[in-house]
Amino acid sequence: MKLGVFAVLFGDKSLEEALDKVAEAGLETVEIGTGGYPGNAHCNPDELLADEGKLSAFKEAFEQRNLEISALSCHGNPLHPNKAISEQHHKQFEKTVLLAEKIGVNTVITFSGCPGESEHSKYPVWVTAAWPDDHPEVLEWQWQERVIPYWKKQNDFLAEHGVRVAIEPHPGFVVYNNETALKLREVCGNQIGVNFDPSHLYWQQMDPVVSIKELGKHKALYHFHAKDTGMDEQNTKANGVLDTKPYSDELNRAWIFRTVGYGHGEEEWKRIISALQLIGYEGAISIEHEDSLMSVEEGFHKAVEVLKNALIKEKVGEMWWA
């Protein structure tokens, strides 16, 4: 496993400045945003695909610093009922796949997307209940009419270009846990796997280690995000975990995203790294920062410290067991 970072947290810096920060921290991999919700501050696929000079300079920036691109990320909603949004996110996904093929990156990350409830929807509808009967009817329509046809086609497109997609399970989209991720993979094809982010599982009261082991059995874990979640016991007991208050309302929310080690301690992260080792995962541990209680600099360096310790322990353990 190699420690890296999702470079969007340095979106206010040039590519070269961002990569210098990564190299100075002693990391080995970088995940680059190419569109969708993370934006494309460091990488414009349209420009790079059209201009060999710019593409060469882009690749050279990583080579000079001995950094590897772990994935290209265009987290979006290609199933959005607003066609302007869905078409934009789909085109960004396609261009990202083409760029990944051209520069030899085998993984593209995005969300599964979420449709509306019918042909006439204006906004996405995330189904979270089995009753009233409207809910399962909507869910059936979404999967049969939107999700499966779209991702079957994308699976074929990915296979043609030798690239795989790592879908990030995320509440608000049709794929939000192992069950829905593996359903999508089984029905639509094995070019589809998972970008695993424990922070989206913790607040749903799931155990990341259990999920990692299950995905490992299916050889479906393609990439890993290192991000934590802090639970507020009092607010959770009062109102549950389906919290729609703004992320900035930290005092009153049931949960917030935290820097690695500040939602769950170092022992928990050692447990996660051990599980990844058990299933034979050899990819990136890509740090993502969305902690509203810490600056980017503070959160980044604290996450690096916790994860380096966890990875060192696993390497020592690996040598001992050898």
**What digits encode the pLDDT tens for the residues 143-194?**
999 999 999 999 999 999 999 999 999 999 999 999 999 999 999 999 999 9
Domains of the chain from N-terminus onward:
2-321 (3.20.20.150)
Is residue 234 exposed (0-12), middle (13-18) or buried (19+ Cβ within 10 Å)? exposed
Cβ atoms of 163 and 101 within 8 Å: the answer is: yes
Mean local confidence (pLDDT), 276-292:
97
Helices (H), the chain: 15-24, 45-50, 52-63, 83-103, 134-142, 148-161, 178-188, 199-202, 208-217, 233-239, 266-278, 296-321
The residue length of the chain stands at 322
Tokens representing residue 218 in the block: 């299916």
- Is the per-residue pLDDT at 320 higher than 80? no
Question: What percentage of the chain reaches a pLDDT higher than 70?
Answer: 97
pLDDT at position 321 is 37
Average pLDDT over residues 101-116: 98
Residue 9, SS3 per DSSP: helix
Note whether 13 and 294 are within 8 A (CB): no
Residue 35: phi, psi to the nearest 5?
150, -165
Phi first, then psi: what are they for 294, rounded to 5°? -135, 150
Chain centroid to CA 31: how far?
10
Share of the chain above pLDDT 90, in %: 97
Kind and range of the H or E run holding 221: strand 221-226
Distances (CA, A) of 271 to 82, 212, 296, 311, 313: 42, 11, 25, 11, 11
Q: For 44-65, how does the pLDDT look when each residue is reduced to its tens digit (9 = 90+)?
A: 999 999 999 999 999 999 999 9
pLDDT, tens only, 202-211: 999 999 999 9
Q: How confident is the model at residue 313 (pLDDT cuts 50, 70, 90)?
A: low
Report if pTM > 0.85. Answer: yes
Residue 85 has pLDDT above 80, yes or no: yes
Looking at residue 284, its pLDDT comes to 98
Write down the mean pLDDT value for the chain: 96
Q: What's the confidence (pLDDT) of residue 312?
A: 73
Over range 284-295, report the average pLDDT.
97
